[in-house]
C-alpha cells in the first residue's frame, strides 16, 4: 500500500487525517515538531485504528533532519502538508515567525521533495485566501487577497506550489478549508488549543464551566441575526477529503483525465451551508444541555460578515462531499470536551 508522509500529523486536522489514512490501509509517516501538538494524539490514532504509524519529531526548518527522514523511509508516494502555525492574531503580532515557519518550512519541504524525487503533494490551505469582494458563496475562482500574515502565508504557499509543481510536473492539490470544527466520534481525538480563539472551542469551554462567558463579536453585521456567518465543516469530513485527494493523485483520476502532471487542482472544503454565531451557541446549548452565557461585544478586527463555500466543484471533481451536519459537529466537540476537559493533558 502507498506510503504517505504527513507533516503536522499530530495536530488537530492532521491526527484525524492520519486515522482515516490508516483505516483506508495506507502506511503513514508523520513528521511534527510538537510545537502545537501532542504525541498522545497519535497514540490514540494508533489505538483507534489498531494500526501503527511511524513518527519523527522533526521541524521542517531542520533540513538535515528532514533529509534523514526521507533517506530512512525510502520510497514515499505522496505528502500531505499540514505543518504550519495557524493563529491569525499571533501572525499579526509576529509576522516574521509566520513567514519563517510557514514559508521557509514549506520551501525546505519542497526542496527535499525535489531532491528525493517525490512529486505529489496535498496542501492544507484556507478560505482565508479569499478576498472580501462580496461574491458569496465562494467558488474556487473567486478573487483572492489575504488580509493578515497568516492568510498571506497560505496564499504565498499556494503560489509557490503552483510554480514549483508546474515546472517540475508535480501533482499538487490545494484544499481550502472553511471553518473546521468537531472531533472524532469516539471522543478520543479532537482540537486541543492552548487558548481557544475560535468560536466552537471557546463555547465548549464555557459549557464545561471552564470559562465564564463567550463574547459574540458583533451583532450588527448585515446577516439575518446580525452575527457573523461561517461555513463550519466537520473535521472528519475534512480528513476524508484529504484521503480522497491522495487516492485521486495516486490513481491519476483527476478531473476525469488521466494524469494531472504539472497542474494544480484547487478545492473548497465546506458544506455550502452557513450558521451564525448565535445559531452555533444555541446548538451547543441544545446538545450539551448547559446554559452557555453569551455577551455581545464589539466586532473583532479583520472579521468578515459571511464566509460560505460553494462546494459544487469539489463535489463533482474531487469526488467528495461533506456528510456530517451541525448536530454531529457540536455533539462530537462536546463529547471530546467532556471526556478530555484538559485536552491531551488530562
Active site residue 98: no
Helix (H) or strand (E) segment spanning residue 121: strand 120-126
DSSP reduced 3-state for 260: coil
The yes or no reply on residue 234 touching ligand UFG (CB under 6 A) is no
The nearer residue to ligand UFG, 9 or 228, going by C-beta atoms, is: 228
Which residues on adjacent β-strands are paired with residue 321?
none
The nearer residue to ligand UFG, 175 or 199, going by C-beta atoms, is: 199
Q: Residues with Cβ < 8 Å from 311, sequence gap 6 or more?
A: 268, 269, 270, 271, 272, 321, 322
Cβ atoms of 287 and 204 within 8 Å: the answer is no
Residues 242 and 259: their CA atoms lie apart, in Å, by: 18
Say how many residues touch ligand UFG, by CB under 6 A.
Answer: 22
The yes or no reply on residue 14 touching ligand UFG (CB under 6 A) is no
The nearer residue to ligand UFG, 165 or 274, going by C-beta atoms, is: 274
The nearer residue to ligand UFG, 69 or 88, going by C-beta atoms, is: 88
The yes or no reply on residue 138 touching ligand UFG (CB under 6 A) is no
Q: Residues with Cβ < 8 Å from 275, sequence gap 6 or more?
A: 229, 230, 232, 283, 326
The yes or no reply on residue 330 touching ligand UFG (CB under 6 A) is no
The yes or no reply on residue 215 touching ligand UFG (CB under 6 A) is yes
Q: Which one of residues 111, 253, 303, 328 is an interface residue with ligand UFG (CB under 6 A)?
A: 303
Min CB(16)–ligand UFG separation in Å: 16
Q: Which one of residues 6, 21, 174, 216 is an interface residue with ligand UFG (CB under 6 A)?
A: 216
Q: Which one of residues 127, 243, 249, 318 is an interface residue with ligand UFG (CB under 6 A)?
A: 127
Pairing state of beta strands 229-230 and 214-217? Answer: unpaired
Amino acid at each position: 500500500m502507498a506510503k504517505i508522509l504527513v507533516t503536522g500529523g499530530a495536530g488537530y486536522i492532521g491526527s484525524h487525517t492520519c486515522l482515516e489514512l490508516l483505516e483506508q490501509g495506507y502506511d503513514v509517516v508523520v513528521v511534527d515538531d510538537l510545537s502545537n501538538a501532542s504525541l498522545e494524539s497519535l497514540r490514540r490514532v494508533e489505538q483507534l485504528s489498531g494500526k501503527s504509524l511511524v513518527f519523527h519529531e522533526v521541524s521542517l526548518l531542520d533540513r538535515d533532519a528532514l533529509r534523514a527522514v526521507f533517506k530512512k523511509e525510502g520510497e514515499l508516494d505522496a505528502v500531505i502538508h499540514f505543518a504550519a502555525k495557524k493563529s491569525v492574531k499571533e501572525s499579526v503580532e509576529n509576522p516574521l515567525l509566520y513567514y519563517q515557519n510557514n514559508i521557509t518550512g514549506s520551501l525546505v519541504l519542497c526542496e527535499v521533495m525535489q531532491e528525493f524525487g517525490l512529486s505529489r503533494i496535498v496542501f492544507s490551505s484556507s478560505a482565508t485566501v479569499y478576498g472580501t469582494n462580496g461574491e458569496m458563496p465562494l467558488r474556487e475562482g473567486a478573487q483572492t487577497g489575504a488580509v493578515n500574515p497568516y492568510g498571506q502565508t497560505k496564499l504565498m504557499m499556494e503560489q509557490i506550489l503552483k510554480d514549483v509543481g508546474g515546472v517540475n510536473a508535480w501533482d499538487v492539490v490545494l484544499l481550502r478549508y472553511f471553518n473546521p470544527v468537531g472531533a472524532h466520534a469516539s471522543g478520543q481525538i479532537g482540537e486541543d488549543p492552548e487558548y481557544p480563539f475560535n468560536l466552537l472551542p471557546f463555547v465548549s469551554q464555557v459549557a464545561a464551566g471552564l470559562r465564564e462567558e463567550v463574547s459574540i463579536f458583533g451583532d450588527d453585521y448585515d446577516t439575518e441575526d446580525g452575527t457573523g456567518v461561517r461555513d463550519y465543516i466537520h473535521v472528519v469530513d475534512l480528513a476524508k477529503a484529504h484521503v480522497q485527494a491522495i487516492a485521486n493523485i495516486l490513481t491519476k483520476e483527476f478531473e476525469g483525465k488521466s494524469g494531472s502532471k504539472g497542474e494544480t487542482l484547487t478545492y473548497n472544503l465546506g458544506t455550502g451551508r452557513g450558521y451564525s454565531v448565535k445559531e452555533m451557541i444555541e446548538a451547543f446549548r441544545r446538545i450539551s444541555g448547559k446554559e452557555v452565557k453569551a455577551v455581545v461585544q464589539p466586532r473583532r478586527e479583520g472579521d468578515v460578515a459571511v464566509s460560505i463555500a460553494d462546494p459544487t466543484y469539489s463535489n463533482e471533481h474531487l469526488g467528495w462531499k461533506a456528510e456530517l451536519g451541525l448536530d454531529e459537529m457540536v455533539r462530537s466537540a462536546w463529547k471530546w470536551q467532556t471526556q478530555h476537559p484538559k485536552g491531551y493533558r488530562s
